[in-house]
Chains A and B, each alone.
Chain A
Amino acid sequence: LAKTTQPISMDSYEGQEVNITCSHNNIATNDYITWYQQFPSQGPRFIIQGYKTKVTNEVASLFIPADRKSSTLSLPRVSLSDTAVYYCLVGDPRGYQKVTFGTGTKLQVIP
């Protein structure tokens, strides 16, 4: 299983763009990169998933370099409601073998 490394915490002011980088040096060929968001007292919520290059949806963008050994979640113009823990997961979604949630990055958005 590919191990992931993320910063433990980040602070950002409202309205700023936030980039959270995840390292996954031993990512396998079939692995996808998935990001989840978790608010207190709630279960994790899917944000975005990608395999290579760039993926964008209404919530975030995901940048994956050619070597795929890292990925960056980009949140445009964060608001206070984006304060949450963000998890980066790496795994093969087809087999649903154990994908591991790491410690995540606790993002604190400051007014």
Chain B
Amino acid sequence: DAGVIQSPRHEVTEMGQEVTLRCKPISGHDYLFWYRQTMMRGLELLIYFNNNVPIDDSGMPEDRFSAKMPNASFSTLKIQPSEPRDSAVYFCASSLSDSNQPQHFGDGTRLSIL
């Protein structure tokens, strides 16, 4: 089975540009999570969705960050405008709502803002 698929794997862009990260969850999973990982702050949950509906976005750092899930098989995390401090690895994960089901992570997008 295909796992969580994220694209692009690497993104380098200049400050002020819009960045869009993409995620395809595992088919049938009804929870989707976006995380950010940095050396300083570790792995932080930004937002998560259940059945395409955002449930908790309290981890989104600023209004420059937005996330959408237009359907069960696709989600985007957008940063506009981007800043150097947004440089990090962004992970998407998905899971089933059944009790005890773990999250399955993609391999992440390494984002560098110059």
Contacts and interface: CB of A to CB of B under 8 A. Distances in A.
Which of A41, A42, A93, A96 has most B Cβ within 10 Å? A96
Interface residues of B, number: 28
B45 to A, nearest CB: 5
Nearest to A102: B42
Given A93-B100, A96-B31, A104 B42 contact: yes
A103 interface: yes
B56 A43 contact: no
Contacts of B48: 96, 98
Interface stretch (B11-19, B69-77, B104-112): B104-112
Size class of the contact patch on chain A: 20 to 34
B105 A43 contact: yes
A84 to B, nearest CB: 13
Interface of B: 4, 31, 35, 42-45, 48, 50, 55-56, 58-59, 91, 93, 95, 97, 99-108, 110
